[in-house]
Amino acid sequence: MTQHLNVTAGAGYAVIVDANCWQTLPDHLAHIGLQGRVHIVADHHLAEVATQLQSACGATTTLLMLPGGESTKDYTTLMQIYDHLLTARVERRDVLVALGGGVIGDVAGFAAATTLRGIACVQMPTTLLAMVDSAVGGKTGINHPLGKNMIGAFHQPRLVLADVSLLKTLPQRELSAGWAEAIKHGVIRDAQLFADLEQADPTKAFFDADLVRRAVAVKVEVVNIDEREQAERMLLNYGHTVGHAIEQLLGYGTLLHGEAIAIGMHIEAQLAVTLGLCDAALVRRQQQMLQRYNLPVALPAQLTADDLLAVMQRDKKVDAGQIRWALPRRIGHAEIIRDVTLDTVRAVVATNVSA
């Protein structure tokens, strides 16, 4: 029997990570008492799965197919979902099912949070990155030209149903991007997970539901401690301050989210060394892991330290004018660090800028 992870935030919900489980959605909806109409918002690459799911959920189920790329995560797409739901005469007892990667989960989740002041949402992540990170914890939202995820809401799902068998259809680049968040979880909180990922075969590890579930468990544990990112949950931002700035400057979708986060982790680990929080061996070990999973660590040549700093200072994690950094002390343990001078950050970033 599959071991469920349990999130206590919101009304409380199960996170199910297994193989060949997506067809069980109607049973789970009945079990948790969601009896309204189902509205599926799905990545258009999942048309076959989406139509089968629509049929399984009943004749009144609606379906909206959308592109799943990062450029989709905007106001225009949000309005498409609102139009679809309102035209279908959505009611408060209905449930929105987000079937796709992190982009679909975030924008559909935000639509659920704000339609009729909030309807139930079920997350069905189909990318590794969404499974181990974005589908859990209730963060929803869209991007803004001045920053990533700057418009959104906390809206906990009623269920997360992650089927690892769906990962086999993903391009290798998408799978690699997903491992960035799993590796991050190992660095900040689970040294054994990190060590096991070092030993795993990167081309086959995504078939291991138990390994994926352990990566998800780190996110569940942190969310249960700190739902609203007031303290512990900020540790999950490791690699994201620099990573989000890279994404914005290059244009959303140029790099996959996990690729930008991998570069961010590499630079932020160097910052930790500069601050005396950890030794250079951590940077080398992490770099070897990232590259083993085919993730980049080099800063794109067209970016400058000043450009990156300008964007980072507009980040959501800025408090009283200072960036709050999640930085590692050792593999398996990280801390929130404040009072890092901009000159220190600039110097570290500058060492990664191509001449």
Instruction: Please name the residue ranges forming H helices in the chain.
Output: 25-31, 47-57, 75-87, 102-114, 128-129, 172-189, 191-199, 209-225, 240-250, 257-274, 280-292, 305-312, 342-350
> How far is the C-alpha of 349 from the C-alpha of 355, rounded, in Å?
13
Q: Which one of the listed residues 39, 184, 213, 257 is annotated catalytic?
A: 257
Q: Is 257 a catalytic residue?
A: yes
Q: Which one of the listed residues 227, 237, 247, 324 is annotated catalytic?
A: 237
Q: Is 233 a catalytic residue?
A: yes
CA atoms within 13 A on the CB side of 231: 3
- The DSSP letter of residue 315 is S
With CA atoms as reference, report the closest residue to 265 among 151, 202, 182, 150: 182
Q: Is 240 a catalytic residue?
A: yes
CA atoms within 13 A on the CB side of 244: 20
Q: Is 228 a catalytic residue?
A: no
Radius of gyration of the chain (CA): 20
Task: Show the CA angle centred on residue 205, arms to residues 183 and 125, nearest 5°.
Answer: 75
Q: Which one of the listed residues 39, 139, 148, 266 is annotated catalytic?
A: 139
Q: Is 28 a catalytic residue?
A: no
Q: Which one of the listed residues 158, 240, 266, 324 is annotated catalytic?
A: 240
Q: Which one of the listed residues 158, 244, 266, 324 is annotated catalytic?
A: 244
Q: Which one of the listed residues 229, 247, 259, 268 is annotated catalytic?
A: 229
Q: Is 181 a catalytic residue?
A: yes
Q: Which one of the listed residues 155, 213, 214, 233 is annotated catalytic?
A: 233
Q: Is 93 a catalytic residue?
A: no
Q: Is 237 a catalytic residue?
A: yes
Q: Is 45 a catalytic residue?
A: no
Q: Which one of the listed residues 73, 84, 174, 181 is annotated catalytic?
A: 181
Q: Is 204 a catalytic residue?
A: no
Catalytic sites, residue numbers: 117, 139, 181, 219, 229, 233, 237, 240, 244, 257
